[in-house]
Each structure stands twice: as structure tokens, then as C-alpha cells.
Amino acid sequence: LFERELLSAGGAGGDAAAAAPGAFKATNFGSFVRQLNLYGFHKTPVLAGGGAAGLPGSAGALLRFCSPYFRRDRPELLVHIKRLTRANRERMAAGLEVRSRQPSRFQQ
């Protein structure tokens, strides 16, 4: 459902894609998860009974991804989310600052 409505170019009904066109560069769920991992998000276990098996259009259990810098009502933490590229890892290991990109129109 997520892939069909938010990651695909057209969206299922067009509403999700119209609300945030180009919000995600990935077009399939595996690529989206890879991007989450590159930005420091980790998959966390969902509590018992938290599966989506009963939801319409669901393909299986819910997945939950967390980052210590992605918290509701704490936008000041977002500057700490960095893409973990080889160059950024080397900069961090050397004690240098890793700069962020300018905020996109969605972040503003």
C-alpha cells in the first residue's frame, strides 16, 4: 500500500502523489528502506498484536523505523540526520563536521 500510494509516480488515487509530488526519490519499498538506513534509521520490533494483517490492502506485518533525531515536536533535532556516505563516515571519524544539504521545500 505504501509503495503503491506514496512511492509510485501516479499514486493509487492520485491524492497522495498530488499532496507531495516527488517527496520520495525511491520508487520501490526496498530502495526506500535502503535510504532510511543510509540516514541512520533502524528497524525496530513492533509490539505483539501490532501487525497489519487485518488492514485492507495489507501485504503483511507493519515495519517500524526509528532514529534518535526524528522526534515529534522536536524539529531542532533534524539537523543531526546525515546521510552516512563513505565520505561522511571518514569526516566523522576524523572529527570533522558533516554538513547538511539546504532544506528542501518540504522541510521548510
In a domain, 99, yes or no: yes
Q: Which of 64, 93, 98 is nearest to 81 (CA)?
A: 98
Residues 38 and 89 in one domain: no
Residues 60 and 103 in one domain: no
In a domain, 16, yes or no: no
> With b meaning 16 or more CB within 10 Å and e meaning fewer, what string describes 12-28?
eeeebbeeeeeeeeeee
Residue 45 belongs to domain spanning: 1-10+21-67
In a domain, 15, yes or no: no
Residues 62 and 35 in one domain: yes
Q: Do the Cβ atoms of 2 and 58 come closer than 8 Å?
A: no
pTM: 0.62
In a domain, 50, yes or no: yes
pLDDT in tens, the chain (108 residues): 778 778 876 554 545 445 456 667 778 888 888 889 888 899 988 766 555 554 555 556 788 899 999 999 999 998 888 888 888 888 878 888 877 666 666 655
Number of domains in the chain: 2
